Amino acid sequence: MNSPFFKTTAILFFLVFMVSPCAFSGEVEVLHWWTSGGEAKSVSVLKDLLEKEGHTWQDMAVAGGAGANAMTVLKSRAVSGNPPTAAQVKGPQIQQWGDEGVLTNLDDVAMAANWDKLLPSVVADVMKYKGHYVAVPVNVHKINWMWVNPEVFKKSGAKIPTTWAEFETAAKKIKAAGFIPVGWGGQNWQEATVWESIVLGVGGAAFYRKALIDADPDALGSATMVKCFDTLRMVLGYIDKDAPGRDWNLATSMVIQGKAGMQFMGDWAKGEFKAAGKNFGTDYIAMPVPETSSGYLFNVDSFIMFNVKDAGAKEAQKAMARLIMEPKFQEVFNVNKGSIPCRLGMSRNPFDFPAIYSFDTFEATAAAGTLLPSMAHEMAVYPAIRGAMFDVVTSFCNSSMSSQKAAKNLATEVKSAI
Amino acid sequence: MTSITHTTSVPKRSLFDHIENLLPKIVLAPTLVAGLVFVYGFILWTAVLSFTKSRLLPKYEFVGLYQYLKLFTNDRWWVASKNLLIFGSLFVVICILLGLLLAILLDQRIRIEGAIRTIYLYPMALSFIVTGTAWKWILNPSLGFERLIRQLGFENFSFDWLVNSDMSIYTVVIAGVWQSSGFVMALFLAGLRGIDDTIIKAAQVDGASLPRIYWRIIIPSLRPVFFSAVIILSHIAIKSFDLVMVLTRGGPGYSSDLPATFMYAFAFTRSRLAFGAASAMVMFGAVMAVIIPYLYSELRVKRNE
């Protein structure tokens, strides 16, 4: 056992397996699921910025399943005691990772750049675990958008609606003119996206907070919720029958091609219109979902930072956190991705119109207290509760369930998921 | 008696004999260990997890049957279980009937049998992902079959199972049967070819009609083939996940959910690890409840013969 051969092999093995992750100081390993064209380009901006400061970036992109695959990888790495430096995790799941005691404290970075002032407090709260920053926000998507093809409205003689009553009259006309009023994607998250916008509009911000953020069973089973489901049922009368399972971008292309009049979808739908060479204002219009013009449902992507031992990696991690919040990254990233910066008070020059409108409402609603986290996009409640809400909403959309029963089911299912 | 041979043989054994004796054990040991750990070990771990409160990651706070009670009050779980029952029984029965029929027809010494056999067997070479995608397009009312028939002039024709909550699980059966019945046909064909011709000839001499020969002699003698077919098909049915994921994504709503997709959704995308583990254990129990009596009865029959 003491032969020189054994020693060398042992040392070699040690070098290869133990030392190498720490040997290059200042490396960040980043787990994310931004793999499609525009997204990957956006991420590489951060990579370049970090490399300029002398750190190395190890990309760990896990595609597929809207992040579900990446989360599985993250869990198995965390269980085996070898988490990456940073991972794309958002919303209340940040709290769950905080409970596991694996996150690092970013308060010094946040203090130095004064994040508390730069971020709306409702966004900052999501990034904190027990009052300490453990995550960095990257972008803001607005959920409660309605994408309209004005041509279809003109041909049908309908007026673009701002209330659900107006929506019904307009939808009737569009249907009578032979178009599909609403381009609908029958997947649970899309159904929930429309539903939560309806809850915000019909129930108001306070009700939304109670029902979809606090998950209060009384609010979920209330008469107001029954009214929300009634509205959803009314909207469902204006979709085509092939909607089940349809992807969101196919629903968007129905609007682009003038087969459907409108679609309720977050601001990423803009990318589809742009890719099709359509001009904002003439070929398509973006409006808030009826009755939600004074509210803003947000989806903020963020990176959580794990406890790392290596000093170099720690430094690179802090640099990454700092760079993400700096105006330069916020601007370039969000122009590429079609979202807006989560940092308040940034220049609007490089952004296009829907984004500028999103800027204005973001800041206005942050001040008014109607800036609210989106339930459908994992910002408001734990995944278990979100899943229970999804189940009820999707089974409501795909059956003839009554609104009363849906509200009652919602309360019991959510109670049992807590 | 064994002890006597043992004591007498030990001094005579050389090193080579020892190695020869141990070699199979050494060679098989890693597989055995891997099997023990990765199959039985993980079944055990899942069982343990199902009694805990684990959410995002495993946590060993035991709560007894809590997760099982929640599972049995969950609407979606019952939809998934009912679907498995519908899908599993229809899939197995139709595959076997269709496979047997095709095999009997092919066994009539027809021309270009080889080519036909290959055509029927070919779907088996595809993965369920491909099958699912293709059938998704075929069954989509605005793209596939319904549109085709309507374009042929039957304006009122309607075939919307894929987007109909009550019928969506049957589309999974259609795609599954299309994929697997050719394989069952090949199994039965091999079985038919193995039957001794003289028995059939003897029956013909006795004046038995052809359907009677099939019903009384040939099909009963295919019993071992039925056995393999049932085992293979039922495990395909129970583990089927990819087909549903691609074809209907469990939809519309969750109307075509199966226990496997249910388990995945709750354990991995909804951070309810223990709840998912409980559903996995119930699935495991159900499989055992079906397979063990069947294996037992089949293997006992063989021993008696």
Chain A residues within 8 Å of chain B (Cβ atoms): 65, 68, 71-72, 75, 78-79, 93, 96-97, 99-100, 186-188, 240-245, 382-384, 386-387, 391, 394-395, 397-399, 409, 413, 416-417
Please state the φ and ψ torsions of residue A128, each to the nearest 5 degrees. Answer: -105, 145
What structural domains and CATH numbers belong to chain B? Answer: 2-49 (no CATH), 69-304 (1.10.3720.10)
Verify that A321 and A363 share a domain, yes or no. Answer: yes
At residue A4, the pLDDT reads 57
Q: Which of B70, B252, B266 sits opposite A244 (nearest CB)?
A: B252
Classify residue A330: in a domain, yes or no. Answer: yes
Q: Is the minimum CB–CB distance between B137 and chain A shorter than 8 Å?
A: no
For residue range B24-55, what is the model confidence (pLDDT) as tens digits? 888 888 888 998 999 899 999 999 999 998 88
**B270/A383 CB distance under 8 A:** yes
CA distance B186 to A378: 49
Tell me how close the Cα of A78 comes to any Cα of chain B, in angstroms.
Answer: 9
Do A58 and A157 lie in one domain? The reply is no
User: Residue A43: exposed, middle, or buried by beta-carbon count in 10 A (0-12, 13-18, 19+)?
Assistant: buried
- Which tens digits make up the pLDDT trace of B220-262? 888 889 988 988 898 888 888 889 988 888 878 888 999 999 9
Cβ atoms of A13 and A298 within 8 Å: the answer is no
DSSP letter at A148 equals E
**What DSSP string describes A102-119?**
-BPP-HHHHHHHTHHHHS
**Same domain flag for A192 and A339:** no
Contact: B268, A398; criterion CB under 8 Å? no
Residue of A nearest to B158 (CA): A241
A83 falls within a domain: yes
Cβ neighbors of B57 (< 8 A, separation 6 or more) are: A75, A78, A79, A100, B273
User: Is A307 found in the same domain as A197?
Assistant: no
Number of domains comprising chain A: 2
CB contact under 8 A, A75 and B56: yes
Domain assignment of residue A13, yes or no: no
pLDDT in tens, chain A (418 residues): 455 555 555 555 554 444 444 444 588 899 998 887 777 888 888 899 999 888 999 888 888 766 778 888 898 888 888 889 999 999 999 999 998 889 999 999 999 999 999 999 999 999 999 999 999 999 999 999 999 999 999 999 999 999 999 999 999 999 999 999 999 998 999 999 999 999 999 999 999 999 999 999 999 999 999 999 999 999 999 999 888 888 899 999 999 999 999 999 998 898 889 889 999 989 999 999 999 999 999 999 999 999 988 888 889 999 999 999 999 899 988 888 888 999 888 888 888 888 888 988 998 998 898 999 999 999 999 989 999 999 999 999 999 999 999 999 999 999 888 7
pLDDT of residue B162: 85
The Cβ of residue B19 has, within 10 Å, a number of other Cβ atoms equal to 10
pLDDT value of residue B301: 62
In a domain, residue A167? The reply is: yes
In a domain, A2, yes or no: no
Q: For residue B3, what pLDDT is reported?
A: 46
**Which of the pair, A129 or B151, is modelled with greater confidence?**
A129
Running DSSP on this structure, what letter comes out for residue A237?
T
Contact list, B140 vs chain A (CB under 8 Å): 242
Best of A97, A241, A253 to disrupt the B interface by mutation (most B CBs within 10 Å)?
A241
- Indicate whether B87 pLDDT > 50: yes
Considering only CB atoms, which chain B residues are within 8 Å of A99? 56
> Which domain-ending residue is among A350, A367, A384?
A367
d(CA B30, CA A357): 63
What integer pLDDT is reported at residue B208 of this predicted model? 83
Asked whether residue A281 falls in the same domain as residue A310, the answer is: no
| Statement to judge: residues A280 and A390 lie in one domain | yes
Position A18 in a domain: no
On whether the CB atoms of residues A287 and A148 are closer than 8 A, the answer is yes
Kindly state whether B144 is in contact with chain A, defined as any CB-CB distance less than 8 angstroms. Answer: no
Nearest residue of chain B to residue A384 (CA atoms): B270
B253 to A243: CB separation less than 8 angstroms, yes or no: no
CB contact set of A199 (below 8 Å; sequence gap of 6+)? A207, A208, A211, A212, A225, A228
Inform me whether the pLDDT recorded for B2 exceeds 50.
no
Q: How far apart are CA A407 and CA A399, in angstroms?
A: 14
Q: What is the DSSP letter of B11?
A: G
What pLDDT was estimated at residue B161? 86
Q: Are residues A305 and A261 in the same domain?
A: no
Average pLDDT over residues B132-144: 87
pLDDT at A11: 54
Name the residue facing A186 among B136, B251, B275 (closest C-beta): B251
Answer whether A325's CB lies under 8 Å from A35's CB: no
CB B181 within 8 A of CB B100: no
pTM: 0.83
Same domain, A278 and A384: yes
In a domain, A17, yes or no: no
Is B95's pLDDT higher than 90?
yes
Domain that holds residue A323: 24-141+300-367
**pLDDT for res A15:** 46
User: B141 and A386: CB-CB below 8 Å?
Assistant: no
Interface test with A, best of B140, B168, B249, B269 (most A CBs within 10 A): B269
In the listed set A349, A367, A385, which residue is the last one of a domain according to the structure?
A: A367
Residue A11 lies in a domain: no
Q: Chain A: nearest CA to B265, how far in angstroms?
A: 9
pLDDT tens by residue, B183-207: 999 999 999 888 888 888 888 888 8
Do A260 and A380 sit in the same domain of this protein?
yes
Q: Residue A100 maps to which CATH number? A: 3.40.190.10
Q: Which two tokens stand for residue B296?
A: 């037992």
For position B154, what pLDDT does the model report? 84
Confidence of residue B5 (pLDDT cuts 50, 70, 90): very low
Q: Within this chain, do residues A114 and A72 fall inside the same structural domain, yes or no? A: yes
Given the structure tokens 């003289």, which residue do they identify? B198
Residue in A94, A191, A242, A392 to test binding to B, most B beta-carbons within 10 Å: A242
Give percent of chain B with pLDDT exceeding 70: 94
What is the rounded CA–CA span in Å between residue A131 and residue A151? 50
| pLDDT of amino acid B24 | 85
One domain for residues A67 and A166: no
| Of residues A100, A240, A384, nearest to B57 (C-beta) | A100
**CB < 8 Å to B49, chain A:** none
- Judge if A88 and A221 occupy the same domain: no
What is the reported pLDDT for A8?
59
State the alpha helices, DSSP H only, in B36-143. 42-49, 66-72, 75-106, 113-121, 128-139
CA–CA separation, A49 and A323 (whole Å): 7
For residue A89, what are the contacts with CB-CB under 8 A and spacing of at least 6?
A71, A74, A97, A135, A302, A303, A304
Cα of A94 to nearest chain B Cα, Å: 11
